[in-house]
Structure 1
Amino acid sequence: MGIDQLITPNTFGFIAAALTTIAFIPQVIKTWKSKKADDVSIVMLLMFITGLLFWIIYAIETNAFPVLIANIITFTLNVTILILKLIYGKRPTTAG
């Protein structure tokens, strides 16, 4: 098996998928630990999640497996961030 058999378009797709998906993990961890999501834009999240849904549909229709897996995971991470934002955004602030 030569290097040309290992480096296929799907190889690049999986690498791109891994990097762009992993990029959201620090935000999930930060939001979870700090229990604050003030710095996360709800409009951006909603637009991004909608875009991810379209990527998922595209990937299903074109049988683009790396795109499908990456966007399902990224969708899950971003919905988690959205849920945390909604939960932590409802907390009353204390004057002091």
Structure 2
Amino acid sequence: MELTTIIGLSAAVLTTAAFLPQTIKTIREKDTRGISALMYSMFTVGTLLWLVYGIATRDWPVLIANAVTFSFSATILALKLKYR
């Protein structure tokens, strides 16, 4: 495996894993008062576009990281909208 791929996968794991604690906390507590709907809307759409880019270019680190991150951010956004 090339060094650039290892760096890309490491970055993908770290940035994706960073959303897991917020997702778990939001699901458990059902408290979204401190979460910006606008920020999560923009982030979720941006992540979806990165996912489409990863698919189009077959860039596996980008594709995998953004598929997982999209699922986390979409979950948080959905809960934000649900618990308004």
Fold shared per TM-score above 0.5? yes
Give the alignment's Cα RMSD to 1 decimal: 1.2
Q: Which amino acid aligns with 2:53?
A: Y
Count of residue correspondences: 84
Q: Does 1:77 align with 2:76?
A: no
Identical aligned residues as a percent: 46
What residue in structure 2 maps to residue 9 of structure 1?
Answer: 4
What residue in structure 2 maps to residue 38 of structure 1?
Answer: 33
TM-score, structure 2 normalization: 0.91
1:31 is displaced (CA, Å) by 1.0
The runs of at least 4 consecutive aligned structure 1 residues that moved more than 2 Å come to: none
- Unaligned stretches of 5+ residues in structure 2: none
What residue in structure 2 maps to residue 68 of structure 1?
Answer: 63
What residue in structure 2 maps to residue 18 of structure 1?
Answer: 13
Distance 1:52 1:13 in 2: 16
- Unaligned stretches of 5+ residues in structure 1: 1-5, 90-96
Q: Which amino acid aligns with 1:70?
A: A
- In terms of fraction of residues, the more helix-rich structure is 2
Q: Which amino acid aligns with 2:21?
A: P
Q: Which has the larger radius of gyration?
A: 1
TM-score, structure 1 normalization: 0.81
